[in-house]
Structure formats: C-alpha cells, structure tokens
C-alpha cells in the first residue's frame, strides 16, 4: 500500500510541475500578446521579430500614413506573397486600394483641367483592388463605401491628356512597342 501511494504522489507531482510550467508559459505568451495589442492600439510600429506578418503590415500602414503610397503598396504586395488567409487578403487588397486611391487624388488634374494619366491609372488600379477585396469579402461595407466614392470621383468623360509625338523615327521603324 505504501508503494502504491508513493507512485501516485510521484505521478501527481509530475502533473503538478507540468501544469505549473504550462501556466507560466501561457502567462508569458499572454503578456506578449497584450504588448502587441497595446502597440497596435497606440498606433506604433511593431518591432518584435516574433510577429513578422504584423510587423510588415504595420510598416506598410505607417508608410501610407506618411504619404509614401508607392512603398506602402509594394509592402502590402509583399504581404500577399506570404499566402495569408482569405480574410487577411481582403484587408490587404482594401489597404492597397486605399493607397492607390489617395495616390491618384494627390496628382489628380493637369493645368488645363484634364485628369492626369497617372491619376487615371491609380484610380483604375484602386478600382480593381477594391473589387478583388469585395470578391474575397462580399460583406465588407467599408470596401463598398470606398468603391462608391471612387466611382463618384472618377469623371465619366475623361479625356486623355494630349501626348507629344516624338518626331524622330529610325528608318521605317514605328515609334513605340509593337
């Protein structure tokens, strides 16, 4: 009977130690997550190497906030290459579209009042990104709202700005790509 009780005490002791170690580990993980959430809530950049996806996402968001739209779009594009979930892909496409939209708004019109080609291109790419985001998450009200604003901003009868034709031709080769 004494041996039997001794074995039970050893088994319960090992289970107790294992449980305590697991509890300490989970508490440590919980504190790390709380720090990340606090950082995100404050709008700061995540610098923890343990969360590379979130670090890149916040870096792209920060680039967009500082009107570095080109780099923000590139960084979001790199996030798409990491094979995120469908919900995350929808968020990334939404943010790409927002940055393209804002980029088009910055360089919107020429001196003569026509929409610049760069702005038209940015708007059309933003529209494609919003539509892709809607395909991934059809219930997103934010995407629908921003897409409707984009449709209302894009002029219906946009004329391309007159392009200057280069007068130089080499023998009988046409100008431009075939």
Instruction: Select from 135, 85, 65 the least CA-distant residue to 75.
Output: 65
Give the pLDDT confidence score for residue 114 in this predicted structure.
66
Mean pLDDT over 13-41 rounds to: 88
Mean pLDDT over 41-53 rounds to: 72
Residue 130's CATH number: 1.25.40.10
Residue 10 belongs to some domain of the structure: no
Integer-rounded Cα radius of gyration of the chain: 27
| Count of domains for the chain | 1
- Quick: pLDDT tens for 135-176: 999 999 999 999 999 988 876 654 444 444 444 444 445 555
Cα 22 versus chain centre, distance: 35
- The percent of residues above 90 in pLDDT, for the chain, comes to 42
Residue 87 belongs to some domain of the structure: yes
Residue 12 belongs to some domain of the structure: no
Residue 146 belongs to some domain of the structure: yes
Backbone torsions φ then ψ of 49, nearest 5 degrees: -70, -15
pLDDT of 18 over the 90 cut? yes
Residue 113 belongs to some domain of the structure: yes
Domain boundaries, position 120: 65-153
For the four alpha carbons of 14, 16, 21 and 25, in that order, the dihedral sign comes to positive
């Amino acid at each position: 009977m004494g041996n039997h009780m001794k074995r039970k005490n050893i088994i319960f002791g090992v289970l107790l130690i294992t449980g305590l170690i697991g509890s300490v580990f989970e508490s440590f993980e919980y504190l790390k997550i709380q720090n990340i959430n606090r950082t995100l809530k404050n709008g700061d950049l995540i610098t923890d190497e343990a969360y590379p996806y979130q670090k890149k996402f916040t870096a792209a968001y920060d680039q967009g906030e500082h009107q570095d739209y080109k780099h923000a779009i590139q960084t979001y594009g790199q996030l798409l290459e990491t094979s995120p979930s469908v919900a995350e892909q929808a968020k990334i496409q939404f943010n790409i579209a927002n940055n393209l939209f804002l980029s088009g708004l910055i360089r919107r019109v020429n001196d003569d009042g026509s929409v610049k080609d760069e702005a038209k291109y940015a708007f059309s790419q933003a529209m494609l990104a919003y539509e892709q985001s809607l395909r991934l998450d059809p219930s997103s009200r934010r995407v629908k709202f921003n897409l409707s604003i984009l449709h209302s901003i894009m002029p219906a009868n946009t004329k391309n700005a007159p392009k200057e034709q280069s007068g130089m031709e080499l023998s009988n080769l046409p100008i431009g790509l075939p």
